[in-house]
Amino acid sequence: MPYIFIGILVFVLIIIVANIKIVPQSKAYVIERLGAYSATWQTGFHVKIPFIDRIAKQVSLKEQVVDFPPQPVITKDNVTMQIDTIVFFQITDPKLFAYGVEKPIMAIENLTATTLRNIIGELELDHTLTSRDTINAKIRGILDEATDPWGIKVNRVELKNILPPKEIQDAMEKQMKAERQRREAILTAEGQKESQILVAEGQKESQILRAEADKQSAILAAEAERESKIRKAEGEAEAILKVEEARAKAIEYINQANPGQAYLQLQSLEAFQKAADGQATKLIIPSDIQGIAGLAASAKEILK
């Protein structure tokens, strides 16, 4: 009898331990009681009623990423291309996620494919290649609204690859190559034009500086010549002034000495001799100088 009681107690303990559940972080458990939704267990310690409660679904609350395979789509200008998408979503309501739709990931994939076909069908090829952000925003808005009853929030949608047909890719590469060559030619021409402009401006500036230097040099030479002439004239004027001053002092000294008539006549004779040394053909001799000349001749005869 005690063994039966111990066995029953051990069995009960095993059942209790087996029904103790700890929900980890970023997880949620959907609990059904007798086949109907009962509760949603969040992070923490929980006890399940044996044989009555069951864990219907374990839901991850983390943001999830789904990479869907390429989907064939047709643009407005009838170009078929392959586009694969990446969807970032998060479960916000575990109950709606568990009971809202069967196979929610497949549902999101199909909804993404149909939405993508509808949006791309309204765009031409060039707009499709250059409007990724617009396409991503439109798809995200439509998916977020459609998946809201499923307890799913679509955070982001990205077009991973857009693959046009091979012939379209070849044409695009040729167009891109031609555009690069055109830009290169334009940049080369602009560079040459800029270089010629700079060279011309340099030559112009050099000529201007050379002309200014020549002008400055001429001005300095003229000023130097003028200064030289001024100094020469000042020197000559000073020399004349000194000569005149010396002559005036000589006359003053002579006047102070009160020279006699004979000295004055002798000075006249010297002036006559200087005049006789010139090129004059006629000489007018004053009478007083003639007398002095006779006196000089007489003195010469006596000395002989």
Average pLDDT of the segment spanning 214-229: 86
Rounded to whole angstroms, the Cα distance separating 14 from 18 reads 6
pLDDT at position 273, please? 56
In a domain, 281, yes or no: no
Q: What is the pLDDT of residues 6-27, one digit of tens each?
A: 877 887 788 888 888 888 988 9
Co-location of 149 and 125 in the same domain: yes
Examine the fold and report which residue of 13, 45, 60 is the final residue of a domain before the chain moves on.
60
**DSSP code of residue 63:** E
Co-location of 152 and 185 in the same domain: no
Examine the fold and report which residue of 104, 138, 164 is the final residue of a domain before the chain moves on.
164
Co-location of 160 and 180 in the same domain: no
pLDDT at position 173, please? 76
**DSSP characters for 101-149?**
-SSHHHHHHHHHHHHHHHHHTTS-HHHHHH-HHHHHHHHHHHHHHHHGG
Co-location of 151 and 182 in the same domain: no
Q: What is the CATH number of the domain that holds 96?
A: 3.30.479.30
Confidence of residue 258 (pLDDT cuts 50, 70, 90): low
Co-location of 124 and 139 in the same domain: yes
- Overall domain count for the chain: 3
pLDDT at residue 153 greater than cutoff 90: yes
Co-location of 75 and 157 in the same domain: yes
Task: Evaluate whether 40 touches 30 at the Cβ level (below 8 Å).
Answer: yes
Range of the domain at 245: 166-259
Co-location of 184 and 142 in the same domain: no
pLDDT at position 274, please? 57
Co-location of 30 and 68 in the same domain: no
pTM above 0.85, yes or no: no
Spell out where 42-96 has E strands. Answer: 44-47, 53-60, 63-67, 71-74, 80-91
From 64, 90, 92, 106, select the one nearest 151 (Cα to Cα): 92
Rounded to whole angstroms, the Cα distance separating 18 from 50 reads 9
In a domain, 280, yes or no: no
Rounded to whole angstroms, the Cα distance separating 131 from 159 reads 10
CA angle 54, 58, 68 (to 5 degrees): 145
Q: Which amino acid is at 137?
A: A
Q: How far is CA 118 from CA 123, 153, 250, in A?
A: 9, 21, 130
Residue count (the chain): 304
In a domain, 301, yes or no: no
Rounded to whole angstroms, the Cα distance separating 150 from 106 reads 13
